[in-house]
Structure 1
Amino acid sequence: MLLRRLSAALVAVLAMAGLQVATAGPAAAAPRVLYYDASQAQEFVAVVNQGAQIWNSRVTNVRLEPVPSGRTPNIRVYADNGWPRTYTSSLGNGYWYMGREAVNDGYYQPRIAAHEFGHILGLPDRRTGLCADLMSGSSAPVSCTNPNPNATEAATVNNSFRSSVAVPARVYTFAG
């Protein structure tokens, strides 16, 4: 028991010094943190933050956090008058637009934000038309207000960030 406590204390001290220690046992690995910059999202900053929190509440192997000062973000979010769309450069990296066209058409803003973050997290569009499927995008009815990934979508993201499988660069639009 004492040895276990001393080991845990040593790991904590090394972590504070910026070193990572691989340990055996059932302890879960720390999630990968992706930093996003919503400073160019204009009137959508709050909904971008909400989209990030939705993912943070549903997955354990990755976290979306606002970029701290002096750090380069993994993700940049912009606003424009077009349709929402995402450009990925690799798993967890890229940029997306909170397009006003979908907002003006009546689509639920938190769903749009969570959907676009889903692309950055490696998920493709799934044109199922089901409101329960976050990645169904605009194929779900405009009345759909579900911003949450379903269990399969969340599991896919957790699995991708467990192994950090390379995902090729892609362009996605909310419309499909």
Structure 2
Amino acid sequence: MLVVALAWTMGQASATAAPSTSAAAVVLTYDTSGAEEFVDAVDKGAAVWNDNVENVQLKPARSGERANIEILADDGWPRAQTTSLGNGTIWMGRQAVDEGHDTIRIAAHELGHILGLPDKKPGPCSSLMSGASAGTDCTNATPDASERAEVEDNFASAGVSPAVYAARLYLD
């Protein structure tokens, strides 16, 4: 798919080719207003997914915008509750952090659930979705090839532009 960007130069429009990956991506927004000390970890966990998949991108919600994903901090164990693919709530639980688990790995793992991935436990550190079963020494926050492929497949059939998808979700 070719995406054309128009630029105005001295009153005339000129067309240039733009990368098509971002045009095809479904954009999901996340709200960190309740994430407390985990905001930076969530932003970095989202950046990991943005750097590793093309069919979906995670962006912070603008002020007043209804987000697809709500991020909360609490004293329990980290968890995610999905309401549909790309939508739900993540709790960044302090219990795992207190035990020594990496906050960026936790954020990326929980975002993986929102993106449609199940836990793969027990598992090696190389598998993001192995979660805590990889141990506290594991700081790998990058999804492996099969995890990336599954997320790409999950969002390949969205069949709508990011703007339409976002608008539809805001109306839900």
Fold agreement, TM-score > 0.5 = yes
1:76-122 per-residue CA deviation (whole Å, 9 max, x = no partner) reads 00000000000000000000100000000000111000000000000
Q: Equivalent residues in 2 for 1:16-165 (5 A)? A: 29-164=23-158
Distance 1:44 1:8, change over 3 A: closer
Distance (Å, rounded) in 1 between the aligned partners of 2:47 and 2:145: 16
1:104-156 per-residue CA deviation (whole Å, 9 max, x = no partner) reads 00001110000000000000001032000000011112100101000110110
The amino acid that maps onto 1:157 is: V
1:107 & 1:119 partners in 2: Cα distance?
18
Two-structure CA RMSD over aligned residues (Å): 2.0
Quick one: distance in 1 between partners of 2:25 and 2:121?
29
- Tell me by how many angstroms 1:163 deviates: 1.1
Give runs of ≥4 in structure 1 deviating > 4 Å.
none
Contact 1:91 1:164 in 2 (8 A): no
**Taking every aligned residue pair, what percent have the same amino acid on both sides?**
52
Please, which runs of 5 or more residues in structure 1 have no aligned partner? 14-26, 166-176
More strand by share: 2
Amino acid at match of 2:52: R
Native 8 Å contact 1:132 1:146 kept in 2: yes
Aligned residues between the structures: 145
Task: Write the distance in 2 (CA, Å) between the matches of 1:144 and 1:70.
Answer: 36
The normalised TM-score by structure 1 is 0.77
Query: Unmatched 5+ residue regions in structure 2?
Result: 8-19, 160-172
Amino acid at match of 1:99: G
- Give 2:69's aligned amino acid: I
Equivalent-residue separation in structure 1 for 2:81 and 2:139 (angstroms): 24
Letter in 2 for 1:103: V
1:132 match: secondary structure: coil
Q: 1:134 to 1:8 in 2, by over 3 A?
A: closer
Distance 1:112 1:76 in 2: 15
Report the Cα distance in structure 1 between the residues aligned to 2:100 and 2:4, rounded to whole angstroms. Answer: 51
